[in-house]
Amino acid sequence: MRYKNLGKNGPEISTIGFGAWGISGRDWGNTDDEQSKRAIHTALDNGVNFIDTADTYGFGHSEELISQVLDERGRRDNVIIATKAGNNFYPFLGKDFGTTPGNPDYSKKYLTFAAEQSLKRLKVDALDLLQLHSPTLDLVDNDEPWEALEILKQQGKIKLAGLSVQSFKETEQAFLLDKYNSVLDVIQVRYNLLEREAEKELLPKAMKYNIGVIVRIPILFGLLAGKFNRNTTFGENDHRKMNLSPEKLDEYLTQLEMFKPFFESRKEFSMAQLSLRFCIAHPACHIAIPGGKTPLQVIENIGASDIDIPYEEFPSID
Ligand SMILES: NC(=O)c1ccc[n+]([C@@H]2O[C@H](COP(=O)([O-])OP(=O)(O)OC[C@H]3O[C@@H](n4cnc5c(N)ncnc54)[C@H](OP(=O)(O)O)[C@@H]3O)[C@@H](O)[C@H]2O)c1
């Protein structure tokens, strides 16, 4: 496992982390908590020291599972836990929904409340990183959420402040880095072999300000592991029913065809590993956080950290 410092103020983190949405028990079909915890243990046993979660994943369940794993390990590991806030799910607790709802709220009052709830679930004195959870631009192009993050830092409740940039709005939101880089330590961005909008403005600005970059959805919900085809379907309680609908699957799989010769030429690595390596090969990017549901997936994904293929050797898409 290789490690990098996460931007100007960041700790040293593994270049492959653990994305903890998939194990939340919601949005990804049914999951088995014991298997999910084994997946996290496997990650930590094999050099991963960074877990990404959000308060809203499973209405707090993802944070609780992580906390249980830390307890089981005697809280001896130096693990960085990144969480998120800004989607108020508390009014929906105890109600039945298909995929997780949340009312966007980036006010000082709500962000402070949400951070305090995450502190309790994770059983820590300070959150290593609190990220604004994919806000629309109108909600964060004003000082209030940034002041909230600054105050939470001053109070010692969070160590680093981040923005998880809304999917497909990477260029539109890039100017936020110019405006708020004094408080912003880290961004999280949707970026993978087939989705490279972030390269246009966002990643260059992150480099300019030495802002840490976390890459999410690095294997496109499993598609870049090569296991889906045009007949693949997903259950009602799996967000991929919408996000990898038959139309989107068809589009992505068509785009993926041009990578076949590349994957064929690097048969010593799996498609998931090569796809992950792409995400961390860009000089702006510090870590990819693949969601892993099983120890086997986790082990395979970790293998990407030590691959040496430079960014320039990956096929371009334009
Ligand atoms: N708005 C936001 O801030 C936001 C949004 C999305 C994600 N995230 C974060 O980013 C993390 C990663 O994104 P993601 O989990 O959505 O997508 P992803 O990492 O691209 O895909 C994860 C899914 O792919 C499958 N998979 C993982 N490793 C595999 C392997 N080696 N071989 C085959 N299949 C494999 C698993 O699902 P199956 O086994 O069920 O196929 C897993 O749940 C999330 O967990 C979350 O922490 C943040």
What pLDDT is attached to residue 298? 98
Q: Are 83 and 54 in contact (CB under 8 A)?
A: yes
5-8 own/partner pairs: CB under 8 Å, 24+ apart = 5/286, 6/80, 6/160, 6/185, 6/186, 6/212, 6/214, 6/286, 6/287, 7/185, 7/186, 7/206, 7/210, 7/211, 7/212, 7/213, 7/286, 8/185, 8/209, 8/210, 8/211, 8/212
Q: Is residue 250 part of a domain?
A: yes
Q: How far apart are CA 216 and CA 190, in angstroms?
A: 5
Catalytic residue positions?
57
In a mutational test of the pocket of ligand 1, which residue from 221, 248, 307 has the highest number of ligand atoms less than 8 Å from its CB? 221
Q: 280: closest CA among 220, 213, 207, 226?
A: 213
pLDDT of residue 98: 67
pLDDT value of residue 99:
66
Q: Are 112 and 152 in contact (CB under 8 A)?
A: yes
Q: Please report, as a single letter, which amino acid is at residue 4.
A: K
Between CA 182 and CA 184 the distance in angstroms is 6
Residue to mutate (ligand 1; options 129, 252, 293; most atoms within 8 A of CB): 293
pLDDT, one tens digit for every residue, the chain (318 residues)? 999 999 998 899 999 999 999 999 889 988 999 999 999 999 999 999 999 999 999 999 999 999 999 999 999 889 999 999 999 999 888 777 766 778 999 999 999 999 999 999 999 999 999 999 999 999 999 999 999 999 999 999 999 999 999 999 999 999 999 999 999 999 999 999 999 999 999 999 999 999 999 999 999 999 999 999 999 999 988 999 999 999 999 999 999 999 999 999 999 999 999 999 999 999 999 999 999 999 999 999 999 999 999 999 999 987
Tell me the β-bridge partners of 119.
Answer: none
216 lines ligand 1 (CB under 6 A): yes
Would you say residue 97 lies in a domain? yes
Q: Quick check: is 108 in a domain?
A: yes
From ligand 1's centre to the CA of 164, what distance in Å? 15
Residues 118/127, Cβ–Cβ less than 8 Å: yes
Q: Whose CA is nearest to atom 16 of ligand 1?
A: 217
State which residues form the domain around 9.
3-313
Amino acid making up residue 105: D
Q: Are strands 12-14 and 3-5 parallel, antiparallel or unpaired?
A: antiparallel
- The CA distance from 314 to 31, in Å, is 34
Does 119 reside within a domain?
A: yes
Q: Which atom of ligand 1 is nearest to the CA of 300?
A: 31
| CA gap 227, 241 in Å, rounded | 15
Residue 297 beta carbon below 6 angstroms from any ligand 1 atom: yes
Instruction: Name the closest-CA residue to atom 30, ligand 1.
Output: 297
Assess if residue 318 is contained within a domain: no
216 occurs within a structural domain:
yes
- Residue 242's pLDDT is what? 94
CA 278 from chain centre, in angstroms, equals 16
Residue 44 DSSP SS3: helix
300 lines ligand 1 (CB under 6 A): yes
Which residue in this structure is represented by tokens 């598609």?
A: 223
What does the pLDDT read at residue 96?
A: 74
Distances (CA, A) of 127 to 106, 288, 318: 17, 20, 40
What CATH number is associated with residue 166?
3.20.20.100
Nearest 10 degrees: CA dihedral of 45, 50, 54, 57?
A: -30
Classify residue 17: in a domain, yes or no. yes
The domain total for the chain is 1
Tell me if 245 is assigned to some domain.
yes
